[in-house]
């Protein structure tokens, strides 16, 4: 610990105002960090969904437990899947919000695959079941917005093997590639 | 970035520091950090950056109570809007509510995604592809999905509105491709988004050959009648609120109102009305709804102490910054409505209904009062009045 910090610790409780000020500073620092994190999530989604013309960009929101490790293992054993696929890792599938999925479509994605763990295996107890509700809601919104519910899919995984992950990603990409493109007016 | 133009346009230089704005503000009452007067002072001292980076810039509900009461005619409401436009350009944003889903929906629509949102229409409702009257539904279908967590269905308002129009002999145009009116973008400083949405909607309406646009949402009504006109000039069609149309029809005897089903069991159903900011203070229309409510047999209208132009905002707006303070405003308003002895709180705006229902949706539910939109209540009365009662639709 630096000597400067030590002195500031020693003065704790000296005056009520000073303490409150310090706390407020701390809170505002935390808030700035939180805001930066949120902005970067948005930015990540946007940059991942950018695509060359004609490509069927697929965004995969993968939970950092089974699905994300499965994707890594697919790479380790040298399984191939389309280069149009971009994987974004979430701390837990429960972190997913409809806004993230819709923003991906806004940035140019053709389909969004949500890769979660099986609900009974969720590391965060109910993250996967929260994700189920979120995806159901998002599919309804996608239908209303003219994107189509079939472009949003939830897949659950119960192993760290690469094969099932690659299989579901590839079959989803093929299915989305065959769909009629949704209308974007100018 | 300087705010000189805003000072001129909003007449902030007239400020006499009397503090009526802060004393009237529903937000300042519960959140001492927020003060319209302080904001105007900062503006006059010329510290633009300080205003932009202030988190409280996004706490304003834009309910216009301060602007209405200001003795020096400072338009604080307009100032908030203009400052938010510049703050957004400087890289500041409010905190989105509902994890930003409503912002995302509006952004996609502004980008040109063509919605297919008329899924709420059912077979019994008569609509047209082209015609004289256009019914602008707004965001109701999206609210149905987003607010399942508080068990609230908003499209019942749209169904009621079309049914009422059918009963009054109007066959409205309903388009599945209509977009958000841009109200929330307009007031939260995203002016480009608002302009895009407005242009899409105007193109759609001109394609339907409509000469009159009927709205059930006060926010859309205010946007069409003021913001669209200010931006695009003459619109080529008339903008009316559904209550105006219905009042005329009821007076002419073309629409008959009976006892609503909730008033059948009792002698009179006591109701109280939550005025919408966009309707009462911004458009100056408070009496049409009251007249209609008084015309329903079996319904007695009791007023809350703060009514008409003094009505308190429902506590949240533009889908930004909803905090405990907003909840406090809502609970106080709900307590006020309960104290009138009314059994039913009638809201004029779908968003008021959402916000107040959300505040009621606490586990302990401290206040018990039913909340219903004025359109649904009128439909109930009209169905019973036309002798086709019994078959009640949503």
What is the torsional sign of CA A152, A155, A156, A158?
negative
Q: What's chain B's Rg over C-alpha atoms?
A: 21
Rounded CA separation A13/A183 (Å) = 62
Instruction: Give buried/exposed letters for B129-157 (b at 16+ CB in 10 A, else e).
Output: eebebbbbbbbbbbbbbbbeeeebebbbb
A3 confidence band (pLDDT: 50, 70, 90):
very low
Residues 60-99 of A with CB under 8 A from B: 97-99
Quote the CA–CA distance of A176 and A57 in Å, as a whole number: 10
Domains of chain B with CATH codes: 4-89 (1.10.1060.10), 98-248 (3.40.50), 253-385 (3.40.50.1860)
In angstroms, the separation between the Cα of residue B254 and the nearest Cα of chain A is 35
Q: What is the pLDDT of residue A9?
A: 43
A136 phi/psi in degrees, rounded to 5: -60, -45
Q: Is A160 exposed, middle or buried (0-12, 13-18, 19+ CB in 10 A)?
A: middle
Provide, as residue numbers in chain A, all residues whose Cβ is less than 8 Å from the Cβ of B112: 183-186
With tokens 């902030």, the residue in question is B12
Percentage of chain B modeled with pLDDT above 70: 97
pLDDT score of A30: 58
Q: Which residue has the tokens 């919000």?
A: A97
Backbone phi, psi, residue B113, to 5°: -60, 130
B317/B121 Cα distance (integer angstroms): 27
Provide mean pLDDT across the span A136-146: 96
Residue B363: pLDDT above 50?
yes
Look at B96 and A140 and tell me if their CB atoms are within 8 Å. Answer: no
What are the φ/ψ torsions at residue A59 (nearest 5 degrees)? -105, 130
What pLDDT does residue A8 have? 44
State the burial class of residue A21 (Cβ atoms within 10 Å of its Cβ: 0-12, 13-18, 19+).
exposed
Q: Of A22-36, B89-103, B203-217, which range is least confident?
A: A22-36
Count Cα neighbours of B17 within 13 Å in the Cβ-side half-sphere: 5
Token pair listed for A76: 């380790």
Question: Which of helix, strand or coil describes residue B311?
Answer: coil
Which band of pLDDT confidence, cut at 50, 70 and 90, is reported for residue A1? very low
**Section B2-14 average pLDDT:** 86
Q: Do B113 and A143 touch (CB under 8 A)?
A: no
- Identify any residues that bridge with B212 across adjacent strands, giving them in sequence order: B133, B238
The Cα–Cα gap between B198 and B206 comes to 12
**Which tokens hold the place of A33?**
């960090």
Q: Give pLDDT, residue B213.
A: 96
pLDDT tens digits along B255-270 = 999 999 888 777 889 9
Q: Alpha helices of A50-110 — where are they, by DSSP H?
A: 66-76, 98-106
Strand order in the sheet with A85-90: A85-90, A58-63, A111-117, A152-157
Contacts of B62 (CB under 8 A, 6+ apart): B77, B80, B81, B187, B277, B317, B318
Cβ–Cβ pairs < 8 A, chains A and B: 71
State yes or no: ipTM above 0.85.
yes
User: What whole-number distance in Å separates Cα of residue B251 and Cα of residue B249?
Assistant: 5
Under DSSP, the state recorded for B150 is G
**CB atoms A99 and B145 under 8 Å:** no
State which H helix or E strand residue A88 sits in: strand A85-90
C-alpha distance from residue B259 to each of A117, A134, B294, B381 (Å): 54, 41, 12, 5
| Helix and strand numbers, DSSP H then E, in chain A | 6, 4
Q: Mean pLDDT of all residues in chain B? A: 91
Q: What is the mean pLDDT of residues A36-43?
A: 66
Question: Any idea where the domains of chain A sit in the sequence?
Answer: 3-38, 50-178
- Count CA within 13 A, CB hemisphere, residue B144: 20
Q: Do A97 and B99 touch (CB under 8 A)?
A: yes
- % of chain A at pLDDT higher than 90: 65
Instruction: Measure in Å the smallest separation between the Cα of B113 and chain A Cα atoms.
Output: 5
**Residue contact A106–B108, C-beta within 8 A:** yes
Q: Are strands A111-117 and B269-274 parallel, antiparallel or unpaired?
A: unpaired
The strand pairing partners of B240, in sequence order, are: B214
Q: What is the mean pLDDT of residues B199-207?
A: 95
**What's the topology of domain A50-178?**
Rossmann fold (3.40.50)
Q: CA angle B86-B91-B97, nearest 5°? A: 95
Reported as a single tens digit per residue, the pLDDT across B55-66 is 999 999 999 999
Measured between beta carbons, the chain A residues lying within 8 angstroms of B115 are 144-146
- The overall average pLDDT reported for chain A is 84
């Amino acid at each position: 610990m630096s000597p400067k910090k030590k002195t500031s610790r020693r003065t704790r409780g000296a005056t009520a105002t000073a303490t409150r000020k310090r706390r407020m500073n701390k809170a505002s620092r935390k808030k700035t960090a939180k805001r930066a994190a949120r902005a970067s999530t948005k930015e990540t989604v946007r940059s991942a969904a950018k695509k060359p013309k004609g490509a069927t960009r697929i965004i995969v929101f993968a939970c950092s437990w089974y699905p994300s490790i499965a994707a890594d293992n697919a790479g380790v054993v040298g399984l191939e899947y389309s280069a149009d696929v971009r994987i974004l890792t979430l701390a837990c599938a429960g972190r997913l919000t409809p806004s993230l999925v819709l923003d991906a479509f806004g940035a140019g994605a053709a389909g969004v695959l949500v890769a979660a763990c099986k609900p009974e295996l969720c590391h965060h107890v109910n993250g996967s079941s929260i994700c189920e509700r979120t995806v159901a809601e998002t599919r309804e919104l996608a239908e209303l917005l003219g994107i189509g519910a079939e472009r949003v899919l939830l897949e659950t995984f119960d192993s760290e093997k690469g094969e099932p992950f690659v299989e579901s990603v590839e079959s989803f990409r093929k299915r989305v590639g065959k769909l009629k493109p949704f209308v974007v007016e100018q | 970035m300087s705010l000189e133009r805003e000072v001129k346009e909003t007449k902030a230089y007239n400020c006499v520091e009397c503090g009526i704005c802060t004393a009237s503000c529903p937000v300042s009452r519960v959140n001492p950090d927020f003060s319209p007067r302080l904001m105007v002072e900062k503006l006059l001292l010329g510290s633009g950056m300080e205003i932009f980076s202030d988190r409280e810039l996004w706490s304003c509900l834009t309910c216009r109570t301060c602007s209405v009461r200001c003795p020096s005619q400072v338009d604080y409401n307009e100032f908030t809007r203009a400052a938010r436009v510049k703050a957004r350009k400087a890289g500041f944003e409010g905190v989105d509510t509902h994890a930003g889903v409503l912002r995302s929906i509006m952004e996609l629509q502004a980008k040109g995604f063509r919605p297919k949102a008329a899924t709420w229409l059912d077979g019994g409702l008569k609509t047209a592809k082209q015609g004289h009257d256009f019914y602008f539904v707004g965001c109701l279908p999206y609210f149905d999905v987003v607010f399942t967590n508080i068990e609230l269905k908003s499209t019942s308002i749209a169904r009621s509105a079309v049914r009422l129009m059918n009963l009054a002999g109007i066959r409205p145009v309903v388009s599945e491709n209509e977009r958000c009116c841009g109200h929330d973008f307009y007031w939260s400083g995203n002016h480009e988004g608002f302009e895009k949405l407005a242009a899409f909607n105007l193109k759609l309406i001109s394609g339907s050959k409509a000469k009159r646009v009927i709205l059930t949402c006060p926010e859309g009504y205010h946007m069409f009648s003021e913001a669209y006109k200010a931006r695009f000039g003459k619109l080529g069609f008339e903008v009316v609120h559904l209550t105006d149309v219905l009042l005329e029809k009821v007076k002419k005897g073309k629409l008959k109102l009976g006892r609503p089903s909730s008033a059948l069991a009792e002698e009179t159903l006591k109701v109280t009305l939550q005025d919408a900011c966009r309707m009462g203070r911004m458009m100056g229309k408070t009496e049409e709804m009251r007249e209609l409510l008084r015309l329903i047999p079996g319904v007695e209208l009791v007023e809350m102490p703060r009514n008409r132009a003094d009505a308190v905002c429902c506590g949240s707006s533009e889908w930004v910054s909803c905090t405990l303070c907003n909840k406090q405003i809502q609970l106080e308003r709900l307590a006020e409505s309960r104290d009138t002895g009314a059994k039913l709180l009638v809201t004029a705006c779908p968003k008021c209904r959402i916000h107040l229902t959300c505040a009621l949706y606490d586990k302990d539910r401290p206040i018990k009062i039913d909340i219903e939109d004025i359109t649904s209540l009128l439909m109930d009365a009209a169905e019973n009045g036309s002798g086709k009662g019994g078959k009640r639709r949503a």
